[in-house]
Structure 1
Amino acid sequence: MYKKHLPQRPDGFAKYRLQQHQKSKSKSSLHALPLSKQRALRRNLIFIGTTLGVVLVLSLISKAYAAGGSYVVDDGAINAPGECNIDAWHTANRHHGSTHNETLSAACTSAGVPWLQWGAAVARATAEGDGETQVSPQLKAQLWSREDLGIEVAASATAHFALNRQHTFDGADLSIPFTWQPLEALRLNVNAGWTHAYDGGEQHHRLTWGTGFEYDVAQSLTLIAERYGQEGGDQAWQAGPRVHVGKNIDVDLVVGRSLIGDRHQWLTTGATLRF
């Protein structure tokens, strides 16, 4: 799993000011209101218009898939035989603009071996001007799937190689993702695993865990949240909406926070393409 101690874009609305004289009666009435009420009214109109626009867009697009992307907690599913996906995301630290990372990941399942998904990720992490690039090949096998029970179990293995370190091999992760779907709109994910990593030249072995849920609010909108950590190491949570644009594209907006140390906060934006 990638460390995401990473910056957040500032939010807020810019102040609105009147630029010209009102000529119609409706404009005159608006202009006659106190300045504070004018601003409140305009903010409400903008909010209503934006909400209606989002609802309209969501009603015109259909659902793709959930799980994966920039989220750490994996699910028990793999791609259908003959299908692939490409994920790309950018994570930025809220309080340290020079700390961020970018990741490009791809995975496929061949028709000849329908139970095995293979892929790789390339991640570039930058902190205080220093950057590091990591390549991570991955295999994920589906061990058990019962559609009638809503249960999927898989096993995944990932190796990490740093391109600009003295020790190229940077570590490995093993994980057992488990997914249970008690309701059509709700999926619960649980991960249990083990990680091996080099930290400052020292080797560390830790147990890893994670829990999360995916809830389909609408046909084209899923809410996702997760909590994950390592034994004696990182602890964090992430959450956010996922919009399904058509059948093959997902767009994520994720907020996360570390639960140890300085409790760094980050914002991630990402997209997934399936083909």
Structure 2
Amino acid sequence: MQYLFRHRPLANAALQLSIAAILLPATLPAFAARPFVTDDARLTTAGSCQLESWLRVYPQSREAWALPACNPGGNLEITAGGGRARGDGEAATQDYLLQAKTLLRTLEADGFGLGFAAGRVMHPTVNPGPNLFGNTYAYVPLTLAFADGRTLIHGNLGWLREHNSRQDKLTWGIGGEYAFGQRVSAIAEVFGDNRAQAFWQTGVRVFIVPDRVQIDATLGGQNDSGPGGRWFSLGLRLTPAQMF
């Protein structure tokens, strides 16, 4: 994952983040990350960086995110970025994120991978003063690979601390993806926490340049939110070759 819920007056929509890593080892095709909210047990290419960016549109609000991530040493990925959201007739708000992720087991063809991630999302324009620090979280991503990596199942289990409400939450996510070839794959997932109705999302991912430039599109929503909580998203992911 991680999706990090922070309710605010944007058409009753819950804000969520997805920080997903990309690129399997050389033995597998590189299919993953955006547009998933459920994270996978993989990292950005060692010695390189990636950029995940997306626009999410609700009936009465919009969000835009950019999350650069780098893996300079091989088994530690650092993500630092932010987003901007605006509801109809409302002032824009900003969010900032910092996360570290490592692998406990590297994913192999027809095997599984396991990782650990922790981070913090800050909401200074929504929760000023003592609530500046927003949400702190940690989670374990698990990925299972089948059919030489063309079918992948991702599972997340984690903890989230909302500093504003002083609540602790158990977070979870389950997602699957299927690759139709080197360029196109389909995704579907459900995710949530123990205090709210689950969210769902489904969509498609297309590599314009294999393993380097990806675009994606999804439809999603929350089980009890009705049409007002539905969203449509468009994403762009850039994954250059080794940079350092």
Shift in Å, 1:237: 0.6
The aligned counterpart of 2:175 is 212
**Mapping of residues 167-182 of structure 1, within 5 Å:** 167-182=131-146
Residues 163-188 of structure 1 deviation map (CA, whole Å, 9 limit, x = unaligned):
32232100112110000102221011
| 2:78 equivalent among 112, 118, 130 | 118
Alignment check: 8 A CA contact 1:64 1:246 kept: no
Shift in Å, 1:67: 2.2
Moved >4 Å (runs of 4+)? none
For normalisation by structure 1, the TM-score amounts to 0.72
Q: Distance in 1 between matches of 2:184 and 2:216?
A: 10
Shift in Å, 1:197: 1.3
Q: Does 1:253 align with 2:217?
A: yes
The 3 A distance-change label for structure 1 pair 176 and 195 is same
SS in 1 for 2:34: coil
Q: Does 1:109 align with 2:74?
A: no
Aligned AA (1:122): G
Residues 86-112 of structure 1 deviation map (CA, whole Å, 9 limit, x = unaligned):
01100001x32xx111100011111xx
The aligned counterpart of 1:89 is 54
The aligned counterpart of 2:111 is 150
Alignment check: 8 A CA contact 1:75 1:179 kept: yes
What are the ranges of 5 or more consecutive residues in structure 2 without an aligned counterpart? 7-12, 15-27
Q: Distance in 1 between matches of 2:195 and 2:48?
A: 38
For normalisation by structure 2, the TM-score amounts to 0.81
- State percent identity of aligned pairs: 22
Q: Number of residue pairs matched?
A: 212
The 3 A distance-change label for structure 1 pair 176 and 147 is same
Shift in Å, 1:146: 5.0
Computing the radius of gyration from Cα coordinates, the structure with the larger value is 1
Alignment check: 8 A CA contact 1:85 1:273 kept: yes
Residues 54-87 of structure 1 deviation map (CA, whole Å, 9 limit, x = unaligned):
xxxxxxxxx9732222421000001221121101
